[in-house]
Amino acid sequence: MVELIARLSEAYGPPGAERVVRSIVEEESRPYADEIRTDVLGNLLVRKGSPEGPRIMISAHIDEIGLVVTYVDEKGFLRFHPAGGISPHVLLGQRVRFESGLVGAIGCEPVDDIKNVKMEVLYIDIGSHNREEALAQVQPGDMCCWHRRLDQVGRRVIGKALDDRIGCAALLAALRRLDGKNIPNNVFFVFSVQEEVGLRGARTAAYGIKPALGLSVDVTGAGDTPAAKPLPMELGKGAAIKVKDSSLVCHPGVCRYLVELAKKHNIAYQMEVLPAGGTDAAAIQLSEAGVATGGLSIPTRYVHTPAEMADLDDVEAVVALLVELVSAPLDLSYINSL
């Protein structure tokens, strides 16, 4: 599992430029999928199970937060705009990588106070002597992302883009475990694009799939660090079953059904209530006339930094719960009655 997470985490894939990650996911999925296709927006749809069964959509996004070059100055320094939610204080002094493999460092103009570190005073230094030399390597519109490897510390991993490559790894692990099983449902594992800039891939995928039940697998915040805001989610306490975030209130029957499955199969779980942020679940829920939607999350520290930290036992709990969910016949009337 760690090797898979590392391969996904370290890959290049900011919003709208997910090709590299998508190719990795497709390669890992192909031996276990009944059908694979890529839609117009770039979502990878991996189908498994009975074509006649009720449709279940499980989404994890393959994009990561990134930067897009907006201007190259006369000395060859690159100005940029964020693609996704990034704090300028987190960017300062970091390294970034372009799809070509080119690496740059983020610097800052002199400021009187750290509070004045804004996006407009930051720049990317790729070591060029002038504008002409820089433009030979990078053009306005080119995107970059964090340049970091994944490290393991005990049962925990630290790296960039665990949001949401660790969710993608969970879907791939579940897909492997379903190999050879008689799955009564028509399951669509959706590896969605452009989540970080508006849940765009999941929105179009759900419209096309028309699922009876939807689920997002993503990271969530953790309230277990010093002086953290009070949150019920902690690393190592199991799969986080989403109740709400700032983008949706999950279908109560889906929440209760996931809790029921976790208890029945002795899978560690915790409840997720997130004051801010959202996932693909919000887009799935509002597709067409509405979809019964829930979420499974992996508690993660330091989200939207290059040092996101998650616990492998929580990933394992999410995988186990996914397998049990799709292996049982979907009875939506029962879920709605909970």
Domain boundary among 124, 146, 168: 146
For the chain, what is the domain count? 2
Q: Give the model's pLDDT for residue 17.
A: 96
Q: Give the model's pLDDT for residue 214.
A: 98
Same domain, 331 and 305: yes
Same domain, 165 and 129: no
Q: Give the model's pLDDT for residue 107.
A: 96
Q: Give the model's pLDDT for residue 216.
A: 98
Structural domain harbouring 322: 2-64+160-337
What's at 312, amino acid-wise?
Answer: L
**Residue found under tokens 């390294």:** 95
Q: Give the model's pLDDT for residue 165.
A: 98
Q: Catalytic residue among 18, 28, 195, 196, which? A: 195
- Cα 38 versus chain centre, distance: 18
Same domain, 101 and 72: yes
User: Tens of pLDDT along 2-39?
Assistant: 999 999 999 999 999 999 999 999 999 999 999 999 99
Q: Is the pLDDT of residue 113 over 90?
A: no
For residue 63, give both structure tokens.
């994009």
Sign, CA torsion 244/247/251/257: negative
Angstrom CA distances, 105 to 73, 77, 79, 98, 209, stand at 16, 10, 12, 11, 42
Q: Which residues of 243-268 are buried (b: 16+ CB within 10 A; e: fewer)?
A: bbbebbebbebbbebbbebbeeeebe
Average of per-residue pLDDT across 91-116: 93
Q: At 84, which CATH number?
A: 2.40.30.40
Q: At 183, which CATH number?
A: 3.40.630.10
Q: Which residue has the higher pLDDT, 179 or 113?
A: 179
CA gap 283, 145 in Å, rounded:
25
- Structural domain contains residue 243: yes
Confidence of residue 79 (pLDDT cuts 50, 70, 90): very high
- Structural domain contains residue 90: yes
CA gap 122, 182 in Å, rounded:
54
pTM score, two decimals? 0.96
Identify the weakest region by mean pLDDT among 111-115, 118-122, 228-232, 255-259.
Answer: 111-115
- Structural domain contains residue 155: no
The pLDDT > 90 percentage for the chain reads 96
Same domain, 71 and 59: no
User: Tens of pLDDT along 311-323?
Assistant: 999 999 999 999 9
Same domain, 91 and 198: no
Same domain, 15 and 94: no
Same domain, 170 and 82: no
Q: Is the pLDDT of residue 229 over 90?
A: no
Q: Is the pLDDT of residue 205 over 90?
A: yes
Cβ-proximal residues to 259 (8 Å cutoff; 6+ apart), any chain: 241, 269
| Catalytic residue flag (residue 195) | yes
- Structural domain contains residue 153: no
- Structural domain contains residue 298: yes
CA gap 237, 20 in Å, rounded:
32
Same domain, 194 and 107: no
CA gap 255, 242 in Å, rounded:
7
Same domain, 85 and 60: no
Q: Give the model's pLDDT for residue 112.
A: 87
- Structural domain contains residue 190: yes
* Average pLDDT score over the chain: 96
Same domain, 297 and 235: yes
Q: Give the model's pLDDT for residue 228.
A: 87
